Amino acid sequence: MRPGRDAVAGVTYSGRVLRGLLSPKWVGLFALVLVIVAACTLLGLWQLGVARDEGHKQAVAAASQLQRAPLQQVTRAHSAFEAEFSNRPVSVTGTYDDARTILVVDRRLGDRAGSWVVTPLVTEGGTVAVLRGFVDGVPATAPAAPAGVVTVEGTLGPTESPRPGAPLPAPQRRSVDLAALVNEWPGDLYNVLVLASSETPSAEASSGDGATPSTSTAASTATGLTRVPPPDIDTPLNLRNAAYAVQWWVFGLFAIWMWWKMFRAEQQADAVPAAQREEITA
């Protein structure tokens, strides 16, 4: 038999395969396979979504179980920012250097456009950048920080890389870039950003009216600042549900493979001459 030609009726191999593929039987089976593959694909995507949700729940639960710790027990000045520091609850005590407050522009909080108010807090272990809150627009002067010794509670986040753009007038900045601030802020710098959730005493309590110092914890403070919530936790997939997703996709590929295997088996059987089939069955 010449390559590419059927020995029975002189039909080319490709022609015989095409004729078989277009037969009602195999067209119907192929349509069934497409339905199975689509179902397996959708089920795999659903399980992948479940894997993300479960991973996020587990990460949030793990973060909520962490006890708030003094910043000095978590990291030290000049130390690298570790992945496990993200959203780590901490407390830190020191004195704000209000004269060096910066306004980080082009920020959003929900549907509001404005600026971050970031003030260096000078502590015994070094200086740490504290994101005190968000203000609408770009005010001419930043809201004043509490005077005297202040205890800040919040969560840790990474500092930022430089953002390109034209120079801005002081105290405006485009990012919380410690490489640029290291020569402007006093002392050794912590390589973290503290997203403040409370300050003790509050700004209004330290204004000299003789009131007892209080704690400022509201989402919107008396100084016009709105606390910035911690960013979403970067969470891994739940491995069990991710494995289920892969399993569904493997089922889809298996259905395609089985369809092709069955079709090839039939084609090979049809290619055997009738006399040879009789010899085989004899």
Domain with 37, as residue range(s), is 13-55+238-281
Collapsed DSSP state (helix, strand, coil) of residue 158: coil
Question: Is 227 within the bounds of a domain?
Answer: no
Higher per-residue confidence, 179 vs 205: 179
Per-residue model confidence as pLDDT tens digits over 87-101:
888 999 999 999 999
Shared domain check, 113 and 159 = yes
Per-residue model confidence as pLDDT tens digits over 34-52:
899 999 999 888 888 888 7
Neighbours of 77 (CB within 10 A): 17
Question: Is 62 within the bounds of a domain?
Answer: no
From the centroid of its chain, how far is CA 20? 49
Q: Which whole number is the average pLDDT over 208-230?
A: 62
Percent of the chain with pLDDT over 90: 27
Domains identified in the chain, total number: 2
Question: Is 45 within the bounds of a domain?
Answer: yes
Per-residue model confidence as pLDDT tens digits over 155-175:
988 888 888 888 888 889 999
Looking up tokens 């005590």 gives 93
Q: Longest C-alpha distance within the chain, in Å?
A: 112
Q: Is the bond leading into 167 cis (omega within 30 degrees of zero)?
A: no
Inform me whether the pLDDT recorded for 232 exceeds 90: no
Shared domain check, 194 and 101 = yes
Q: Which whole number is the average pLDDT over 62-82?
A: 83
Question: Is 222 within the bounds of a domain?
Answer: no
At 160, which CATH number? Answer: 2.40.50
pTM over 0.85: no
Shared domain check, 195 and 115 = yes
Q: What confidence category does residue 236 fall into, taking pLDDT thresholds of 50, 70 and 90?
A: low
199 beta partners: 152, 216
Among 154, 175, 200, give the residue marking a domain's end. 200
Q: Which whole number is the average pLDDT over 183-207?
A: 79
Shared domain check, 17 and 106 = no
Among the listed residues 263, 262, 256, the one whose alpha carbon sits nearest the alpha carbon of residue 34: 256
